[in-house]
Structure 1
């Protein structure tokens, strides 16, 4: 079979896969998915956690040289984070409400390491904490939970090329309800104070549970 014919029918096959399986498997999490994820992570005492942000990057093979510094990944090379907060900013993400250490929050978060910004939607580990204290215990729990998520995702990457290479279907962005709400949500996501408060609340929450165990 000629190369051009092979490529043509491979493209048709890929389009058929997207058309048949896209609505179920190549989409953003819906309210039911989000509820299930939150329940699983709540069982590990990370209330409001949606996953690990390191699982949401795809390698950018032909990243332009001038942009490589901007898109440099934690382990070298270039990567692009999926539009994980797009629906949240646009006002169409499933609601996430939870309370930790007596404080109410209305946005889910992702576990992250130190290279990520101090956003309200990231809970980062604590670097070089004093051994034996609450910060050290939090860092141990956070890193263990993050690695569990990443290892499970690594198994999927080894089995399914679509997870390794990125989605075949286009991301469906919906028009924001209003520009004022769009800009306000964007500012809330980038709020370093909420980031700090959430991390402290989780530190206290996990330490209290350790004391009661």
Structure 2
């Protein structure tokens, strides 16, 4: 992401709070359990970050780079609109948080959960598995976004 505030938010969400959106989805026949963020190349190879290629050398990675950069631009434009109307989103989030009850966990349970999540997010194999599945998925799309 290009803006400092969105970069800081992603970094603080992923790095410090060790959170990633829990979303189950299927890409190119492979099941994934966590959502992902489209990221610049400054971020590490984590299971929840999908980066573009600096200099794609083959047709598959070139096409993936075009699609990923177009998606990032769409997201950045959307965030610009959301920032203009940000108060409504904040009020919704405040209401959602106020109506959410969190489970009570012991110190040991919290520590083991944090350690597990830390390992899951920093899984380079998971990162490459997701990237490869997404590259194949995009490769199988026509230039207008439909399956080949």
- Report the alpha carbon displacement of residue 103 of structure 1 after superposing the two structures with TM: 1.4
SS of the equivalent of 2:44 reads coil
- Counterpart selection for 1:189 from 121, 138, 144: 121
Unaligned runs of 5+ in 2: none
**Kindly tell me: are residues 159 and 193 of structure 1, through their superposed partners in 2, closer, same or farther at Cα, counting changes over 3 Å?**
same
Aligned to 1:123: 50
Corresponding residue of 1:84: 13
Following TM superposition, by how much is the alpha carbon of 1:105 offset from its aligned partner in structure 2, in angstroms?
1.0
TM-score normalised by length of structure 2: 0.70
Paired position in structure 2 for 1:145: 71
Number of the residue aligned with 1:96: 23
**Rg comparison, structure with higher value:** 1
Q: Is the 8 A contact 1:98 1:104 kept in 2?
A: yes
Contact 1:121 1:195 in 2 (8 A): yes
1:202 has 2:131 as partner: no
Alignment gaps of 5+ in structure 1: 1-53, 60-72, 74-78
Contact 2:60 2:139 in 1 (8 A): yes
Any idea what the Cα deviations from partners look like across 1:57-108, whole Å, max 9, x if unmatched?
Answer: 528xxxxxxxxxxxxx6xxxxx45464343737xxx6x41111122111111
- The CA deviation string for residues 142-163 of structure 1, in whole angstroms up to 9 with x for no partner, is 0100110101212333454899
Inter-partner Cα distance in structure 1 for 2:82 and 2:28:
34
Q: What's the CA shift for 1:195?
A: 0.5
Within-5 A mapping of 1:53-92: 54=1, 58=5, 79=8, 81=10, 83-85=12-14, 86=17, 88=19
- Higher relative CO (Cα under 8 Å, sequence separation at least 6) belongs to 2
Distance 1:56 1:190, change over 3 A: farther
The structure-2 alpha-carbon separation of the partners of 1:81 and 1:207, relative to structure 1 and needing over 3 Å to count, comes to closer
| Length-normalised TM-score, structure 1 | 0.51
More helix by share: 2
CA distance 1:151–1:176, shift in 2 (3 Å): farther
